[in-house]
């Protein structure tokens, strides 16, 4: 429009002068307005329409969501069961919406199809840089865990685990030794009300240690006991400090002055890293390229292969963070699933007897179970699948982070958005599971004749898509072998006069309350 207003062909050579006479008739008695003199209001309207038409964000739907308070956002309205509250909000705002927690916007997904669609895309593969875990500078710099390079790390890890016999007979032999020691420890408590979580936790972490470092530690090894205590503390502290991620300015202040649980968490995580560094040093001193003993050996060789690549994400610092992630994720979900199954066995004797009937028929009283046995034990496998739905082992999936602007379900999702999928909402959806969704019912995972496990695609305890849990196969083997070995040897019951409490406590997973159980030898 400037070009029109300054065109000498339209206005004459004095176009730069302010001259009202040019808009008048020759006698000065009438306004003569050329058709090419566009009014300001019209010009403004054209400008605004142009901006609207060319703005990609404006043409896409903006996410709905509840309105919170200044500074704290919606946090005051959350409950001790945020997974329940977030599911309730979806009934008002739909299966995808936005909620402000503290100073951070969280995009919440409660629908299976949307989770599957989103998590199949690379753009949703990131992790927020401010998770409760402390990552090394190398990990943050290379984005080995937080960005797209994670694909490379995951591909290598799965390949390495397969080479080590991951989910196969070789891995079962490692577990057998660990489970036999656990059974021996449990037998020392026969007839005495006991909280068995303190025995299960070190057994799970030892399986991960065997995988990562190629050896297990004895139960009474001081180093093992220290590591187990550290892992327990990390689980507690990480849950209590997670809220700080919603207040970045406050988190920085607390860290600067070494105040609060975040500082304690960092200290505990450094203990785990110290343990991993000691193992790393031993492995470097004894590394033999022709004899790969464990995951750490394989990773060190990969570091050597890529040593001339300036952009490599394979470094010793990244290895430390990957090992820590294996410890955290690899032992927690398995332990929690087995704890819930032991409580179910005590509460529902008929279910316990049905599992034991399959054990007696397929395995007998003496032979150690194998993963292959599950093919002839459909009710046992269905009972495990159902507990992961009924109690939702991980009700809130680990947060994702968008790596680019994107779109989902017609809504605009900006780059660096935090995405939270609520798995609890799927496991408690009556449209997916029926009106008896609150009941523990293994039969819902069986075919009509009860001879085959039928697992719906929306049963996703290990998440879905490109960043689903890489340890899924190992976890499934562990839960089956541990449960079957325990129920083969023991009958489980609640102490006289005590009721089993199925109310979960939210940490990284939905953990059962620590409560006494009684064991009785079956044979």
Binding residues for heme, as ranges, are 469
* 402 phi and psi angles, rounded to 5 deg: -75, 135
What distance in Å separates the CA atoms of residue 43 and residue 52, rounded to the nearest whole number? 14
Could you give the count of Cα atoms lying within 13 Å of 149 in the half-sphere of its Cβ?
16
Q: Which residues contact 286 (CB under 8 A, 6 or more apart)?
A: none
Q: What is the DSSP string of 52-82?
A: HHH-TTTTSBPP-----BTTTBTGGG--S-H
Which residues are 505's β-sheet partners?
511
**Token pair of 133 as six digits:** 């875990």
Task: Report which of 393, 419, 422 is spatially closest to residue 408, judged by C-alpha positions.
Answer: 419
Percent helix, strand, coil in the chain (nearest 5)? Answer: 55, 10, 40
Task: Report which of 380, 370, 394, 357 is spatially closest to residue 445, judged by C-alpha positions.
Answer: 380
Q: What is the DSSP string of 138-197?
A: HHHHHTTTTSTTHHHHHHHHHHHHHHTTTTSHHHHHHHHHHHHHHHHHHHTTTTS-B-TH
Q: What are the CB-based long-range contacts (under 8 Å, 24+) for 282-286?
A: 283/213
Contact 400, 124 (CB under 8 A): yes
Which is it for strands 400-401 and 418-421: parallel, antiparallel or unpaired?
Answer: antiparallel
Which residues are 31's β-sheet partners?
24
Place of tokens 């920085």: 252
Could you give the count of Cα atoms lying within 13 Å of 492 in the half-sphere of its Cβ?
32
**Token pair of 137 as six digits:** 């500078």
Contact 36, 45 (CB under 8 A): no
Beta strands in 131-199 (DSSP E): none
Which residues are 512's β-sheet partners?
504
């Amino acid at each position: 429009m400037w070009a029109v207003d300054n065109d000498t062909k339209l206005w004459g050579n004095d176009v730069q002068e302010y001259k009202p006479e040019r808009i008048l008739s020759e006698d000065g008695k009438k306004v003569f307005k050329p058709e090419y003199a566009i009014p300001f209001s019209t010009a403004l309207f054209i400008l605004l329409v142009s901006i609207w038409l060319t703005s990609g964000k404006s043409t896409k739907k903006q996410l709905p969501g509840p309105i919170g308070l200044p500074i704290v956002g919606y946090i005051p309205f959350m409950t001790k069961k945020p997974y329940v509250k977030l599911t309730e909000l979806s009934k008002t705002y739909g299966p995808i919406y936005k909620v402000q927690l503290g100073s951070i916007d969280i995009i919440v997904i409660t629908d299976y199809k949307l989770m599957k669609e989103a998590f199949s895309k690379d753009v949703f593969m990131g992790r927020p840089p401010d998770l409760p875990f402390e990552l090394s500078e190398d990990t943050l710099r290379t984005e080995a865990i937080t960005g797209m390079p994670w694909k490379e790390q995951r591909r290598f890890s799965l390949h390495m685990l397969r080479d080590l016999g991951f989910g196969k007979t070789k891995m079962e032999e490692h577990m057998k030794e660990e489970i036999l020691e656990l059974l021996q420890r449990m037998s020392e408590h026969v007839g005495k009300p006991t909280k068995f979580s303190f025995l299960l936790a070190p057994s799970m972490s030892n399986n991960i240690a065997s995988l990562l470092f190629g050896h297990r530690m004895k139960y009474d090894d001081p180093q093992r006991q220290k590591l187990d205590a550290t892992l327990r503390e990390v689980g507690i502290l990480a849950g209590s400090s997670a809220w700080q991620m919603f207040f970045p300015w406050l988190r920085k202040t607390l860290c600067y002055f070494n105040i609060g649980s975040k500082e304690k968490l960092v200290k505990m995580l450094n203990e785990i890293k110290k343990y991993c560094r000691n193992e790393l040093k031993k492995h470097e001193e004894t590394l033999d390229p022709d004899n790969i003993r464990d995951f750490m050996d394989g990773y060190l060789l990969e570091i050597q292969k890529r040593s001339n690549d300036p952009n490599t994400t394979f470094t010793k610092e990244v290895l430390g963070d990957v090992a820590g992630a294996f410890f955290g994720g690899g032992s927690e979900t398995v332990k929690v699933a087995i704890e819930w199954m032991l409580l179910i066995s005590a509460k529902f004797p008929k279910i316990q007897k049905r599992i034991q009937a399959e054990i007696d028929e397929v395995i007998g009283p003496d032979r150690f179970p194998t993963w292959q046995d599950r093919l002839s034990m459909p009710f046992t496998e269905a009972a495990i699948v159902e507990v992961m739905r009924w109690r939702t082992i991980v009700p809130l999936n680990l947060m994702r982070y968008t790596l680019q602007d994107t779109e989902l379900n017609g809504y605009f999702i900006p780059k660096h958005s935090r995405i939270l999928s609520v798995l609890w909402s799927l496991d408690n959806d009556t449209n997916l599971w029926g009106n008896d969704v609150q009941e523990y019912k293994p039969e819902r995972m069986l075919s009509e004749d009860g001879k085959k496990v039928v697992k719906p695609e929306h049963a996703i305890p290990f998440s879905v898509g490109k960043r689903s849990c890489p340890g899924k196969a190992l976890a499934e083997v562990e839960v089956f072998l541990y449960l079957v070995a325990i129920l083969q040897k023991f009958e489980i019951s609640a102490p006289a006069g005590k009721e089993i409490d199925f109310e979960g406590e939210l940490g990284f997973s939905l953990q059962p309350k620590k409560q006494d159980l009684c064991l009785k030898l079956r044979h």
